[in-house]
Amino acid sequence: MELNETTLTDCRPTRAEIERISGDGQPATLIGCDLEGMDLSQLDMAGWRFERCNLARASFNGAHLEEATFKGCRAAGARFLSADLLEGTIDGGDFSNASFLGATLNGVSILRCKMTGVDLTDAKAMSLVLEEVLLVLAILPKFSFRKMTLKQVDFSEADMRSCDFRDAVLDECSLRDANLSDCRFENADLRGCDLGGVKLTDARRFKGAVISRQQAAELLGQLGLRVM
């Protein structure tokens, strides 16, 4: 297969070919490529662009992906363990059940993406941007959302034990039936958040948070009280 120096389109390159391009030290663009199940661990792909690629079950463990872009990719079950995605972008696509265990996500933007069941345990994520993301059943214990503004993020049934939401704004988000034990919500704005499944006995978990009158009425309604 003849390879363009910086662009691959609609092909299935081997690891050796990817490694050779990586060794050139210049960002590459992959469009519509099939990398399913491929081992791309430890490679330097900083600044690379993956567009409409099949990355299902591919391994990027320990890879250097600083400022890389994933646009509309299918990456279900992909692994990014301890990978560095500093200042990268994930825009669209399906990353369901992908693992970012111990990955560096500082400054990463995740937009319009399905990430059902994703594992973000021990990921570093300062200045993370999340907009229109499905994180249903996600695993992200001790994750810090402090001072972040989250827009249309669905955390339904996610494992969010000991997460930090202090000073965060949750705009059109959902925490329905999520595990929120030991979370911190001081000064968090939850007025635009679905708190379905929260019992009045669990309300102490939201100590210091701002909620709407309607949300308060729903909680007090469990005691048979009405807020007028």
Q: In what order do the strands lie in the sheet with 129-134?
A: 7-9, 29-31, 49-51, 69-71, 89-91, 109-114, 129-134, 149-154, 169-174, 189-194
Give every CB contact of residue 120 below 8 A, 6+ residues apart in sequence: 100, 101, 103, 105, 138, 139, 140, 143
Q: Check whether 1 has a pLDDT greater than 50.
A: no
Q: What is the pLDDT of residue 226?
A: 57
CA distance 119 to 101: 6
Q: Check whether 201 has a pLDDT greater than 60.
A: no
List, for residues 98-153, the tens digit of each pLDDT value. Answer: 999 999 999 999 999 999 999 999 999 989 999 999 999 999 999 999 999 999 99
Residue 29, SS3 per DSSP: strand
Which of residues 215 and 166 earns the better pLDDT score? Answer: 166
Indicate the range of 14-18, 21-25, 64-68, 86-90 predicted with least confidence.
21-25
pTM: 0.88
Closest residue by Cα to residue 75 from 60, 85, 87, 88: 60
Q: What is the pLDDT of residue 4?
A: 45
